[in-house]
Amino acid sequence: MSAAEGPLVVGVDSSTQSTKALVVDAATGRVVASGQAPHTVSSGAGRESDPRQWWDALCEALRQCGDAAHEAAAVSVGGQQHGLVTLDDRGEPVRPALLWNDVRSAPQARRLTEELGGAKFWAERTGSVPAASFTVTKWAWLAEHEPEAARATKAVRLPHDYLTERLTGQGTTDRGDVSGTGWWASGTESYDEEILAHVGLDPALLPRVVRPGEVAGTVHSHDLPFSKGTLVAPGTGDNAAAALGLGLRPGVPVMSLGTSGTVYAVSRHRPADPTGTVAGFADGRGDWLPLACTLNCTLAVDRVATLLGLDREAVEPGTAVTLLPYLDGERTPNLPNASGLLHGLRHDTTGGQLLQAAYDGAVHSLLGALDLVLDQDADPSAPLLLIGGGARGAAWQQTVRRLSGRPVQVPEAKELVALGAAAQAAGLLTGEDAAAVARRWDTAAGPVLDAVERDEETLARIAGVLSDAAPLLERPTDTH
């Protein structure tokens, strides 16, 4: 292996299921070492993880990186958003962390919205309308259902905050991740005292918000293979880290195809959507990251393929059938009680056409959300960056091209969250903006698929079925 051209940095992606670490050459963006270790998530009514597993996984991932990690001059942590980490006066978890996909706090989300001025108040104050994923609703749930745990809590952290604090010994967060809590006022970029008072959370329990480009601290833990004095960057949430990893400029659209689907873009305008469709997150630099999420993406389409006994790529064109793959309810459009819906089935409809209809239904939802995420002055001909587990699938690529009418670019770089964290760490050493570091590394490079004519007929047909079927889709479904 050739010697690095510049100093080495470490970027971490602590996701729901595992923690990954990359050692990256700050000069070129070349990954010189990597490691990964899993953690567990509870099943049943809630989704919880022991934060100490995240730390153990980080230690193991760094151990796998070998001597390269010891040579690193800076480190940064990107992590899953929204999770509620409660610590006692010794810094130990009071209870397992409530994760982003723990939806037990849905009643608290509805109640908080009603009690404090309605959706418009929340959107204007925090940039987003509370949903069960947001941290403020999880704290309200904890205070209501486990008051002893709430009283024992002496520090409240997000997942990336917890790991950063284990590195530095100081309680810090960043604007990107804290913007997803529901208790940070996006207009003033400060904690919202009215909201905190309403949910009974003392601001003294919250971490200091470190500014972009500021050093959060230095590594003080002896458990890790870092040299003394290794710098620690602010870190951020996973979506903001992926945006940094792509080196996003304002107005460039991103579609991420995973179990759930997301669409987002960097904006210079502070978002505030009272419908709740767009979450008004901050990014990891100083701009904003309006984002919309659909619940049904690759997992739902793969389920349809399995039911049909087909490979996920076995799509066939030429169909007037419509399939809305809302197998887990849906968030965008907001139909939490919905189930999947099939319309237009004929004797000559093939399995491959049904599968293509599932792709069409999933992409229709994402493109509708993308129109809400992008600013009015965004370039409609700019390539759509396609990332996530589904991005390399030919059926996904062709469906996105046909229904968007845009050119589609598929970045070759993987592990964009960890790369974004690494770019943030490199920025501490060079004084550069983290997104500029990623652009210098050319992380978004990849094949560009030319635009094709937008399939307006299919888009209109799906929209029509969605409108006509609204009473059915809004009706609660008995799943027992």
Give catalytic residue positions.
238
DSSP 208: E
CA dist 318 → 1, 350, 357, 379, 450 (Å): 51, 10, 10, 31, 21
**Burial (CB count within 10 angstroms: exposed 0-12, middle 13-18, buried 19+), residue 28:** middle
Give the β-pairing of 85-87 and 155-157: antiparallel
276: region left, alpha or beta (phi > 0 left; psi from -120 to 50 alpha)? left
Length of the chain: 480
Question: Can you tell me the distance from the alpha carbon of 135 to that of 184, in angstroms, rounded to the nearest whole number?
Answer: 11
Give the β-pairing of 48-49 and 97-98: antiparallel
Question: Can you tell me the distance from the alpha carbon of 279 to that of 264, in angstroms, rounded to the nearest whole number?
Answer: 10
**Burial (CB count within 10 angstroms: exposed 0-12, middle 13-18, buried 19+), residue 274:** middle
Estimate the share of the chain in helix, then strand, then coil, as percent rounded to the nearest 5: 35, 20, 45
Question: Can you tell me the distance from the alpha carbon of 277 to that of 334, in angstroms, rounded to the nearest whole number?
Answer: 8
Q: Are 437 and 406 in contact (CB under 8 A)?
A: no
Q: Which amino acid is at 66?
A: G
Give the β-pairing of 322-324 and 288-294: unpaired
DSSP 259: S
Q: Are 173 and 208 in contact (CB under 8 A)?
A: yes
DSSP annotation string for 264-317: E--BSS----TTSSSEEEE-SSSSEEEEEEES-SHHHHHHHHHHHT--TT----
Q: Which H/E stretch holds residue 86?
A: strand 85-87
